[in-house]
Amino acid sequence: MEILFIDEEDLFIEYLNLLLLPNHIVRVFIDPEVASKYYDDHQSYEVMIVDFIMPRMSHQLIFNDAYEINSFENIIVSSGSLNNFKLRKINQHNHSLEILTDPLDLNDLNGLLESYNKKNLELTA
């Protein structure tokens, strides 16, 4: 599965990238603005993983950009402080936005990625 991962904490990104690499193709960005510009020209990702709190850029700008290009983009939001109300508020575009709390549990993340993979296989069958 191809994953676009955006988080400003580069140590966390390196750790998660190492965990995901054996089974996935992962493109990692620590600069959300660069990631957003890259996504404009490369929409081949099956999943985006985005940190909810990024001081240099609003997560909402990333979501809006992604949904403008692909209204059914699968996005996983990583956050230690995001509640269901906030998730519903930012999930006004589609049903493909999920939340995983920090620190990310690898089993939860793999389960979610597997569900996206299964959904993608069903759509292409």
The series of mean pLDDT values per 10 residues for the chain, 125 residues long, is: 85 76 86 87 87 67 74 79 62 69 83 88 74
Q: CA–CA separation, 14 vs 59, rounded Å?
A: 20
Chain-centre distance of CA 67, in angstroms? 12
Q: What is the reported pLDDT for 88?
A: 60
Whichever domain contains 91, its CATH number is 3.40.50.2300
Could you give the number of structural domains in the chain?
A: 1
Q: What is the reported pLDDT for 38?
A: 92
> Could you list the residue range(s) of the whole structural domain that residue 18 is in?
2-124
Q: What is the reported pLDDT for 10?
A: 73
Residue 13 CB-half CA count within 13 A: 18
